[in-house]
Chain A
Amino acid sequence: MYDPVADSEAAERKSIAPRLEQIEGARIGLFDNGKPAAEPLLDVVEERLEEAYPSVTVDRYAVDHLNRIKNDAEMDAIEAWADEELDACIGAIGDCGSCTKYLVYGIESAERSETPGVGIVDEGFALDWDTNARDFGRELRYYTMPAISEVIDRDRFREQLTVDVLDEILDELTRPPTPEERAAEDAESESETTVVAGGDR
């Protein structure tokens, strides 16, 4: 029996970037993937950072349209921004199928520069994130919030995104990688490209 599932080149397993030792004094990038809800959500993240961590400096990067992210030049630009300007990166927003996918591309770009990243996604899109991130070979981190899909109101985000929630998001940038998240280093010797046949995952 033939297998209808297309072959693909297995992504090399890669470790997530080393995490920060502390938030104080860090340069934190806020990455906007072009979805309308990203800007108001990141505005509130920035407000909370200013309140709770005055020593942090914030830099912003916004993609014109989320479809632009799957583009080598754009991904290189995000990687360079993270490499040159940041110590860590918070991305928004994963609140639909395509924007979750493209937020994964954005956070992957930051992580390629060894900059720890976290994406903020609606809790209904966690499996979507996991399965997209798996294709990049990296256990990219995300933080879920309930029912934030298609919310564009800053006051609603202010109610939800308290300083405690901010600390949970920041924890993703500081908590040391688990063995699974570092799995790549163990497999480093097997760097040859392998083909994932059919339905194997």
Chain B
Amino acid sequence: MSRQEQDIEGVTESFYRKGKTDGLPVVPPSEERVERMLEGTDLPRDEVIGRLGTREGALTVEKLAVNGVMAGCLPIHMPLLVAGARALADPKSNAIQASVSTGSWAYLFVVNGPIRRALDVNSDTAAFGPGFRTNRTVGRALGLAYKNTARIHPGEKEMATIGNPFKFSLFAGENEERSPWEPLHVERGYDRDDSTITFAAPNNFLQYKFEAGPRGDQEMVESLIRNTPPHMVGLKTETANERYEGAQLEVFYALCPYNAQELEAYTKAEIKEYISENARRRADELSGLGGGNAEDDGLQSLWRRQFADPERIKLFVTGGSGRFNAAMGPTLGGPTTKRVELPDNWDALLERYGDGLDREWGQAGGG
């Protein structure tokens, strides 16, 4: 292979021509780089994580590693990549519909547990923003892996009308250290010491500010309701079962630590219950996506509940100081959480490759 065929410009151009990139330059997946990436897992390289798209493409551990290299990942990202890919490939997540729909859904990933520290996953200031290598590259790698397995391109199977700038970049850790509540993965049945990645597919990211003042807790929760537009609804049809054959829509609320701490006196369950009970809209405001039934809800016929039940609401804490929160939704499909399994030589791998995550900025007392 000529030098030109191996350099970033040459590989980026030939891969772009064949629809194998997200439009950005890629790190060439040379044999050496892919072999190194595979050091990050104990799994056999030909293990099939899932079959995606109409073509039933086989996403193997090796193909995942190739996409990981292209996105700029390190070998120590492999455990998180594998868990994220298992979430995407789980039929329950309905990632296929999210990937191809006119609705322009993004891949949201929330990381929990000790892996956040090991991989320097940003969970604090600017958690969802640019700047951190793990947040940016792992989200991108999972997006590339899906695209290159299902073989979808804008206009060919990927029919997002407007498109979503967050599609491959909605990735953050939960700020468990600054949360008054049990973290998302504990709510979803994992131990606090487990590391997990949760996937869901929202098509909106809406921020708003809640200022501290004489206003009480109730107004904070009311502000969540007020900032949940009518098309962000929560419902689950009876057919949305383990295989995913129906509709499931939810809203993920990302609360900043300050506002979350002001609600410390309440459990997550109580807050969800309150939102579910009190988020009501005029029937004509709710989108065709659904919402409750007025008669069942005991409401006057012109009103509907926005959430069919409290379980269609997810709360997690992320971000840094300040008083901005975000609502992400509705999410399409069943949110899916997978445990991050570490290889036997994890400590040695961190020793060998952890330098790639070192930074001299953003730390008190740092450079």
Please report A residues at the B interface, Cβ cutoff 8 Å. 1-9, 36, 64-65, 67-68, 70-71, 96-98, 100-101, 104, 125, 127-128, 131-132, 135-136, 149, 196, 199, 201
Expressed in whole angstroms, the Cα–Cα distance for A98 and B105 within the complex equals 12
A127 and B155 within 8 A (CB): yes
CB within 8 A of A97: which of B55, B100, B145?
B100
B239 and A65 within 8 A (CB): yes
Cβ contacts A to B, 26 pairs, < 8 Å: A1-B6, A1-B29, A3-B20, A4-B20, A4-B29, A5-B20, A5-B63, A6-B151, A7-B58, A8-B55, A8-B56, A64-B246, A65-B245, A65-B246, A67-B245, A67-B247, A71-B243, A96-B101, A96-B102, A97-B100, A98-B100, A127-B156, A132-B157, A135-B54, A196-B55, A199-B20
B97 and A67 within 8 A (CB): yes
A4 and B67 within 8 A (CB): yes
- The B16-52 residues at the A interface (CB cut-off 8 A) are 18-20, 28-31, 34, 51-52
A6 and B58 within 8 A (CB): yes
Distance in angstroms from A197 CB to nearest chain B CB is 11
Expressed in whole angstroms, the Cα–Cα distance for A71 and B91 within the complex equals 11
- The B271-288 residues at the A interface (CB cut-off 8 A) are 288
Chain A residue nearest in CB terms to B48:
A6
Interface range for B:
35 or more
Residues of A within 8 A of B60 (CB): 6
Distance in angstroms from A139 CB to nearest chain B CB is 15
B102 and A149 within 8 A (CB): yes
B246 and A67 within 8 A (CB): yes
Residues of B within 8 A of A7 (CB): 57-58
B156 and A128 within 8 A (CB): yes
A4 and B155 within 8 A (CB): no
Chain B residue nearest in CB terms to A36:
B288
Cβ-based interface call for B1 (8 A): yes
B149 and A2 within 8 A (CB): no
